[in-house]
Every structure is written in structure tokens, then in C-alpha cells.
Amino acid sequence: MKSFARYLLISAVLIPTLVTSPVFGCSPQQCPGPGTFCAISYGTGGMDPSTDCWVYSGNASHITSGSCSPSALFSGGGSGSVHQDFPANGPGNYYYVQYVLDLNDPQATWRDELDIDIEDGQGNVLAHVATHTGGPGTISCQTYNVSLGYHPSWAGTTLRFEARVFEYYSNVTYKLGGVYVFSGIS
């Protein structure tokens, strides 16, 4: 009787949690074939945490309307991050990153900063992709393509795309979207 009561108690706690928890699978883009660069990151560039496997923290949130959306929005001052883990199982050992950035910094100051890195499974930086400070003041939905070079040691490992923002001023906004990590043969 005691074990049955324990079973009911555990079931009453776990079953609602399991039923209401979002369950989804991450799947990479389809690769058109050998000799091409293929997206090895998950999703369609929409930065959706529920379907594209993005994890948000701090002052980061997912937006689906407005300029440069869908995207990750960093706003209100302070810090935040967004990341996605994915397997490095592309068709080659050359990598590059594509993303779209929108920046509005009325103060045009270096104190506001976005850093983008490719990390390993332990959080060690393997490649620094870019740093964008608020110095320009405004960047309107600009697409960036950054070559990361030749990295045969990455093949078969888990990589992380990590974007971190620190906003000194509360009226600064960064929007990051259209993120893809590609692998291919040069």
C-alpha cells in the first residue's frame, strides 16, 4: 500500500509536468549535395525558441513582428544571451556564419556591445565571429557573412552559436536574426 501511494504521488507531480512541457525535435536544413555549403544549424533563421532550438536568457526575447523580424531582441539595458547547440556534421571542414543585425543606439557608444562566438560543448570559444558596439548608432537590418576558415577538428563535435549583449543604456536595442552556420568544401 505504501509503494502504491508513493506511485500516485509521483504520478500526480510528474504527469502534468510531462504533458505540459513542450517537446520538439531539432532538425537541420536539407543539404543540396556534395560540393556545396550546407546549413548545419537548426531551423529557418527565425530564432524561434519553441521550434528552432534557441535558448534565451537575460534581456533577450523572441519577436515575430517589426523590423528585422523574426529575431532575437535585446532591450531594456543590462545583459542577455541567445544560443543554439548543433552537431558539426556538414559536408566539409570550412565554416561560415550568416546573420542579420539591427542596432539602435541613440548614444552611439562603445559601452553597448554584442559579441558573437562559436563555442564547443564546454563553452570554450573556438572562433570569435564578431563584435558590434553601439558606436555606429544605427545599423538597419544588415546581413553579415563571416568566414571562420578551415577547422577539421570540429567535424563530429557539438558546436554552439552564442550571442551575448551588454547594454549600458536602457534605450538601446539589438535585433539578431537570420542566423545560419554553414559547413562545406572550399
Q: What is the pLDDT of residues 134-175, one digit of tens each?
A: 999 999 999 999 999 999 999 999 999 999 999 999 999 999
Contact 163, 81 (CB under 8 A): yes
Q: What is the mean pLDDT of residues 74-91?
A: 94
**Structural domains of the chain sorted by starting position, each given as residue range(s) with its CATH number in brackets:** 27-184 (2.60.120.260)
Contact 149, 170 (CB under 8 A): no
CA distance 164 to 57: 10
Angstrom distances, CA of residue 13 to CA of 9, 17, 23: 6, 7, 18
pLDDT in tens, 46-72: 899 988 899 999 999 999 998 899 999
Strands 125-133 and 78-87: unpaired
Contact 97, 180 (CB under 8 A): yes
Give the distance, in angstroms, between the CA of residue 62 and the centroid of all CA atoms in the same chain: 11
pLDDT of residue 85: 94
pLDDT of residue 80: 98
CA distance 101 to 144: 8
Cβ-count burial 80-116 (b if 16+ within 10 Å, e if not): bbbbbbbebbbbbbbbbbbbbbbbbbeeeeeebbbbb
